[in-house]
Amino acid sequence: MNIDLGKLIYPLFVKKGRYLREEIVSMPGVYRFSPDMLLDQVLCLQKLGLKHILLFGVPDKKDWDGKLAYADKNIVAEAVGLLKKSFPEIIVITDVCLCSYTSHGHCGVIKDKRKGIDNKATLSSLCRIALSHAASGADYVAPSAMAENQVRAIRKALDRKGYKKTKILGYSVKFASNFYGPFRDIANSSPRFGDRSTYQLDYTDRENALKEIKDDIEEGADIIMVKPGLGYLDVVEEAKRKFKHPLAVYNVSGEYSMVKKGAQSSLWKEKDMVFEIISSIKRAGADFIITYHAKDIARWLNN
Q: Which helix (H) or strand (E) holds 31?
A: strand 27-33
Residue 34 is a binding residue for ligand PBG (CB under 6 A): no
Find the binder of ligand PBG among 104, 133, 196, 282 (CB under 6 A).
Answer: 196
Separation between Cα atoms, residue 261 and residue 133, nearest integer Å: 34
Q: Smallest gap, in angstroms, from Cβ of residue 164 to ligand PBG?
A: 25
What is the b/e burial string over 265-290, where b = at least 16 CB atoms within 10 angstroms of the residue's CB?
Answer: eeeeebeebbbebbebbbebbbebbb
Separation between Cα atoms, residue 108 and residue 111, nearest integer Å: 10
Cβ atoms 158, 184 nearer than 8 A: no
Residue 74 is a binding residue for ligand PBG (CB under 6 A): no
Taking the least distance from each CB to ligand PBG, the nearer of 161 and 184 is 184
Q: Smallest gap, in angstroms, from Cβ of residue 4 to ligand PBG?
A: 21
Separation between Cα atoms, residue 116 and residue 121, nearest integer Å: 12
Find the binder of ligand PBG among 9, 50, 99, 298 (CB under 6 A).
Answer: 99
* Distance, C-alpha 210 to centroid of its chain: 20
Residue 253 is a binding residue for ligand PBG (CB under 6 A): yes
Residue 101 is a binding residue for ligand PBG (CB under 6 A): no
Taking the least distance from each CB to ligand PBG, the nearer of 198 and 302 is 198
Q: Which of 15, 16, 62, 227 is catalytic?
A: 227
Is 174 considered catalytic here?
A: yes
Q: Smallest gap, in angstroms, from Cβ of residue 242 to ligand PBG?
A: 25
The residue among 175, 196, 84 whose CA lies nearest residue 136 is 84
Taking the least distance from each CB to ligand PBG, the nearer of 99 and 239 is 99
Separation between Cα atoms, residue 210 and residue 135, nearest integer Å: 32
Taking the least distance from each CB to ligand PBG, the nearer of 97 and 239 is 97
Window 102 to 161, contacts with ligand PBG (CB under 6 A): 107, 144
The region of 70-78, 95-103, 148-156, 158-166 touching ligand PBG under the rule CB under 6 A is: 95-103
Cβ atoms 127, 86 nearer than 8 A: no
Q: How far are the Cα atoms of 4, 45, 242, 247 from residue 23, in angstroms, in the given order?
A: 27, 17, 40, 30
Find the binder of ligand PBG among 70, 180, 199, 275 (CB under 6 A).
Answer: 180
Residue 252 is a binding residue for ligand PBG (CB under 6 A): yes
Residue 199 is a binding residue for ligand PBG (CB under 6 A): no
Q: Smallest gap, in angstroms, from Cβ of residue 252 to ligand PBG?
A: 3
Runs of H (alpha helix) within 2-142: 35-48, 75-86, 119-135
Cβ neighbors of 110 (< 8 A, separation 6 or more) are 64, 102, 104, 116, 117, 118
Residue 67 is a binding residue for ligand PBG (CB under 6 A): no
Is 227 considered catalytic here?
A: yes
Taking the least distance from each CB to ligand PBG, the nearer of 183 and 288 is 183
Taking the least distance from each CB to ligand PBG, the nearer of 96 and 298 is 96
Runs of H (alpha helix) within 87-205: 119-135, 150-160, 181-187
Cβ atoms 173, 227 nearer than 8 A: yes
Q: Which of 15, 167, 174, 282 is catalytic?
A: 174
Residue 182: how many other CB atoms lie within 10 Å = 24
What residues are labeled active site?
A: 174, 227
Binding site for ligand PBG (CB under 6 A): 95, 97, 99, 107, 144, 180, 183-184, 189, 196, 252-253
